[in-house]
Amino acid sequence: MHEGAIIVLVLIGAFAFWLFWVLTGPKRREAKKFAKMPHEGPISVNSKSEVRDWGKFRHRLYIDFKISQANYALASQMGVHGHQLFIYPDLCLRTR
């Protein structure tokens, strides 16, 4: 193959990857989730816990959090969108 053909193939591959990223990337997925949210309404949180014997891990917490588009936009404006609430393992809770 000639060097020119290799360069053209690399450019075509880079363009195809960029196009795939634009069409399926994180911003697109977030926009789809936002469109599925109700326009108005209260925030609802449902949680349940489960106890099993998995060796080191015995407890599991499930949190189902529903939010409206208005509340989502407000959280983004306040700068709290995307922050983690929990980090596991929590090093502050370790006992020796």
- 71: confidence class by pLDDT, cuts 50, 70, 90: confident
Report the pLDDT averaged over residues 52-61: 74
User: Cα-flanking dihedrals φ and ψ of residue 40, to 5°?
Assistant: -130, 165
> 55: left (phi > 0), else alpha (psi -120 to 50), else beta?
left
Distance CA 51, CA 58 (A): 6
Task: Give me 12's structure tokens.
Answer: 């075509």
When pLDDT is cut at 50, 70 and 90, the band that residue 1 belongs to is low
Q: What is the mean pLDDT of residues 50-54?
A: 78
3-13 b/e with 16+ CB inside 10 Å = b? eeeeeeeeeee
The confidence band for 91, taking pLDDT boundaries of 50, 70 and 90, is low
Do residues 56 and 94 make contact, with C-beta atoms less than 8 angstroms apart?
no
